[in-house]
Amino acid sequence: MPNIPYKNVDNYQPKELLDAVLARRGARGLLNLDRMLMHSAPLTEGWGAFFKKVRGELSVDFKLRELAMCTTALLTGARYEFNLHIPEWTKGGAMPAQIKALENVDAAVVDKTNFDEAERAVIQLAIEITRNIQVAPKTLAAMRAHLPGDQEMVEMIATIAAMNMIGRFLAATGVELEKE
């Protein structure tokens, strides 16, 4: 049960915002996350615009970005987001063995069988940002070695930070996985 009841969207106002969220979600329809956010129209609008950019308009490698999102979701206890991002990470090239191995993030960061050097650098960066906030210079250097430039480095850090925001929001509000 959520800590705050989901917003009833019958006769939701502004209707344009509800229509925009429904259009973005497509056949899947509204998610529990949407129903929670919709308690605040400005928050819903801003959240949607921000995460549209994070999820679809950054130049950082798609597979690495989705790995960062999945790792951070697990670290924050946001199983909800992990489940939402597995299909995207899979589209980016993740293998079933990687998905299973990531379930133990602390083991995954040193797992040379399932993760290459760039992927382990992403996992380490997500661990440090999420658990420590501060990032060791060697971790930044390891990540930087696998990215083309400063833009991608900033985008990777921002992606992990954004997923930390989602994880904390989901935990505090008690958003549940959708019933299938």
- Shared domain check, 23 and 93: no
Range of 28's domain?
15-56
DSSP label of 14: S
- Shared domain check, 110 and 22: no
Contact criterion met (CB below 8 Å) for 159 and 60: yes
Do the domain assignments include residue 6? no
Question: pTM of the predicted model, to two decimals?
Answer: 0.94
pLDDT tops 90 at residue 180: no
> Which percentage of the chain shows pLDDT scores above 90?
96
Do the domain assignments include residue 86? yes
State the Cα–Cα distance between residues 165 and 72, nearest whole angstrom: 10
- Shared domain check, 137 and 75: yes
24 Cβ partners below 8 Å, 6+ apart?
A: 48, 52
Give the mean model confidence (pLDDT) for residues 101-116. Answer: 98
- Shared domain check, 166 and 92: yes
Do the domain assignments include residue 112? yes
Structure tokens at 168: 């904390």
- Shared domain check, 76 and 158: yes
Please report which confidence band the pLDDT of residue 9 belongs to, taking 50, 70 and 90 as the band edges. Answer: very high
